[in-house]
Amino acid sequence: MRILSFDQASKVAWSVFDGKKLVDYDTHNFSNVKDFNCRINEIKKYVVGLINQYKPMLVVFEDIQYQSNQQTYKKLASLQSVLINYCVDNEILYEIVQPTLWKGFAKIKGRKREEQKANTQAFIKQQFGIDADEDIADAIGIGWYSCNEIKVI
């Protein structure tokens, strides 16, 4: 089963797994698109391009977490909604994964965000031999959880 997983925000990181084998990953930064609605549109086009390129059986998005900044939370929720809507409109199977689920599966520890990010990068290095930045490490972690724990019927 092919899974395309995302850690989505202004910087979109993604990974592709065939079965339990990591086959590709990358990231793209959209923070240079200043108008928020245009940024969402550019991100959507990028995600759609990846879906068309890799033709996954399942697309997985990381769920948004509470943000102390209400505007940031609203923007992340808007982006997630647009991406889910695309999947629904195009009958693409998708899942939303809580960060605590995939981090728990990978045994990522740490009280603070920075510690969790560093531990995720260390896990990805140990598991896959990749020196990934923190966003790609998260996308691979989400994909790793998904190909091991999500069952598609």
What are the domain boundaries of the chain? 2-149
Q: What are phi and psi of 109, to 5 degrees?
A: -110, 165
Tell me what the mean pLDDT of segment 22-51 comes to: 97
pLDDT higher than 90, residue 67: no
pTM for the whole structure: 0.93
Cβ-contact 22, 150 below 8 angstroms = no
pLDDT one-digit tens code per residue, 86-100: 999 999 999 999 999
Please give the pLDDT value at position 65: 81
Superfamily of domain 2-149: Ribonuclease H-like superfamily/Ribonuclease H (3.30.420.10)
Catalogue the E-assigned strands of the chain: 2-7, 11-18, 21-29, 58-62, 94-97
Please give the pLDDT value at position 5: 97
pLDDT higher than 90, residue 145: yes
Please give the pLDDT value at position 153: 60
